[in-house]
Amino acid sequence: MSELLIEIKDLECNIDNQKILQGLNLKINKGEVHAIMGPNGSGKSTLSSVLAGNENYEVTNGSINFLGEEISEMSPEERSWKGMFLAFQYPVEIPGVSNINFLRTALNERNKYYGIDSIPAKDFLKMVAEKSELVGLNNKLKNRSVNEGFSGGEKKRNEIFQMAMLDPKLSILDETDSGLDIDALKIVANGVNKLKSSENATVVITHYQRLLDYIVPDFVHVLHEGKIIKSGDKSLALELEKKGYDWLKTDENI
Amino acid sequence: MIIKDLNHNSLLKKNSKLDLEALNLGSFPNRKEERWKYTPLRSLKKINFHNQLNFKIEHLSSLGIPKIEGLVIVLENGKFNSSLSNIIDLKEIELLFLNGAEIANNSQEPTQKDYFNNLNASFLTEKVILKIKPNININEPINLVNIISDDNCISNTQFNIDVFENSKLHIRQYFLGSSNSKDGFINHRNQVSLKSKSSLTIDKFQDLNHNFNFCNEFIDQEKESEFIMNTFSASGVILRNNVFCNVYGKNCHSELNGVFAPIEKQHFDNYTIINHFVADCKSFENYKGVIKESGVGVFNGKVIVHQNAQQIEAFQKNNNILLDEESKIYSKPELEIYADDVRCSHGSTTGRFDEEALFYLRSRGISMKKSLELMTLGFINEVIEKSNDSMYKEFLLKRLLKD
Amino acid sequence: MSYTEKELKEELDNKSYEFGFVTDIESEKAPVGLNEDIIKLISSKKNEPQWLLDYRLEAFRVWLKMTEPNWAHVKYEKPDFQNISYYAAPKKKKELQSLDEVDPELLRTMEKLGISIEEQKKLSGVAVDFVMDSVSVATSFKEKLSELGIIFCSFSEAVHNYPDLVKKYMGTVVPHTDNYYSALNSAVFSDGSFCYIPKGVRCPMELSTYFRINESGTGQFERTLLIADESSYVSYLEGCTAPQRDENQLHAAVVELIALDKAEIKYSTVQNWYPGDSKGKGGVYNFVTKRGICGHRSKISWTQVETGSAVTWKYPSCILKGDYSIGEFYSVAVTNNFQQADTGTKMIHIGKNTKSTIISKGISAGKSQNSYRGLVKIGKGAKNSRNFSQCDSLLMTDQCGAHTFPYIECENPTATVEHEATTSKIGEDQLFYCMQRGISEEKAISLIVNGYAKEVLNKLPMEFAVEAQKLLEISLEGSVG
Ligand SMILES: Nc1ncnc2c1ncn2[C@@H]1O[C@H](COP(=O)(O)OP(=O)(O)OP(=O)(O)O)[C@@H](O)[C@H]1O
Ligand SMILES: [Mg+2]
- For position A226, which CATH number holds? 3.40.50.300
Percent of the residues in chain A that have a pLDDT greater than 90, as a whole number:
45
Distance, CA B357 to ligand 1 centroid (Å)?
A: 18
A112 assigned to some structural domain: yes
The predicted-structure confidence for B71-87, as pLDDT tens digits, reads as follows 999 999 999 999 999 99
Cα A141 → chain centroid: 22
Q: Of residues C274 and A128, which shows the higher confidence score?
A: A128
Cα dihedral sign, C19-C24-C28-C32:
positive
- Number of domains comprising chain A: 1
* Residues near A166 by beta carbon (within 8 Å), at least 6 away in sequence: A80, A85, A106, A107, A110, B364, B365
Helix, strand counts (H, E) of chain B = 6, 22
Q: Do residues C297 and C282 make contact, with C-beta atoms less than 8 angstroms apart?
A: no
pLDDT at C96: 44
Residue B279 in contact with partner chain C when CB distance is under 8 A: no
pLDDT at C4: 35
Q: Do residues C314 and C281 make contact, with C-beta atoms less than 8 angstroms apart?
A: no
Q: Where are the domains of chain B?
A: 2-249, 356-403
User: pLDDT (tens digit, 0 to 9) for every residue of chain C, 481 residues total?
Assistant: 333 334 433 443 333 344 444 444 555 667 778 888 888 888 888 888 999 999 999 999 999 898 888 888 888 888 888 877 777 665 443 444 455 555 565 555 455 444 445 444 433 334 445 444 434 434 456 667 888 999 888 888 899 999 999 999 999 999 988 999 999 999 988 888 899 999 999 988 888 765 444 444 445 788 999 999 999 999 998 875 544 454 557 888 899 999 999 999 999 988 877 777 777 777 888 889 999 999 999 999 999 988 878 888 999 999 999 999 999 999 999 888 888 999 999 999 999 999 999 999 999 988 899 999 999 999 999 999 999 999 999 998 888 999 999 999 999 999 999 999 999 888 777 777 767 776 777 777 877 888 888 888 888 887 777 777 777 777 776 665 4
How many CB pairs below 8 A link B and C?
117
Q: Which chains have at least 3 CB atom pairs separated by less than 8 Å from chain A?
A: B
Q: Do residues B208 and B239 make contact, with C-beta atoms less than 8 angstroms apart?
A: yes
The predicted-structure confidence for B82-109, as pLDDT tens digits, reads as follows 999 999 887 888 888 887 666 666 655 5
Rounded (5°) CA angle B12-B16-B22: 120
Tell me whether residues C413 and B322 touch, CB distance under 8 A.
yes
What's the Cα-to-Cα distance from C361 to each of C269, C442, C449, rounded to whole Å?
Answer: 15, 20, 10
Q: Do residues B299 and B318 make contact, with C-beta atoms less than 8 angstroms apart?
A: yes
List of chain A residues whose C-beta atoms are within 8 Å of the C-beta of residue B259: none
Nearest to B362 among A76, A101, A107 (CB): A76
Residue A108 above 60 pLDDT? yes
Smallest CA–CA distance, residue B303 to chain C, in Å, is 10
Residue A152 above 90 pLDDT? no
Q: Which of C342, C369, C373, C419 is the best residue to mutate to test the B interface, defined by the most B CB atoms within 10 Å of its own CB?
A: C419
Q: Of residues B351 and C90, which shows the higher confidence score?
A: B351
User: What single DSSP character describes residue B27?
Assistant: P
Question: What pTM, to 2 d.p., does this model score?
Answer: 0.83
Distance CA C241, CA C132 (A): 12
Smallest CA–CA distance, residue B128 to chain C, in Å, is 37
Kind of pairing between the strands at B182-194 and C416-425: unpaired
A254 assigned to some structural domain: no
Distance CA C311, CA B261 (A): 41
pLDDT at C45: 83
Q: Do residues C357 and C340 make contact, with C-beta atoms less than 8 angstroms apart?
A: no
Mean pLDDT confidence for A187-203: 91
Residue A143's Cβ-count burial label (10 Å; 0-12, 13-18, 19+) is exposed
Distance CA B363, CA A92 (A): 12
Q: Which amino acid is at A234?
A: K
pLDDT at C135: 42
Residue B2 above 50 pLDDT? no
Q: Which amino acid is at B362?
A: R
Q: Is the CB of A80 under 6 A from ligand 1?
A: no
The predicted-structure confidence for B311-345, as pLDDT tens digits, reads as follows 999 999 999 999 988 899 999 999 999 998 899 99
A141 assigned to some structural domain: yes
Smallest CA–CA distance, residue B267 to chain C, in Å, is 14
Distance CA C3, CA C173 (A): 39
A117 assigned to some structural domain: yes
Number of neighbouring beta carbons within 10 Å of residue B228: 17
A216 assigned to some structural domain: yes
pLDDT class of B257 with cuts at 50, 70, 90: very high
Nearest to C398 among B310, B346, B351 (CB): B310
ipTM of the complex: 0.83
Q: Is the CB of A149 under 6 A from ligand 1?
A: no
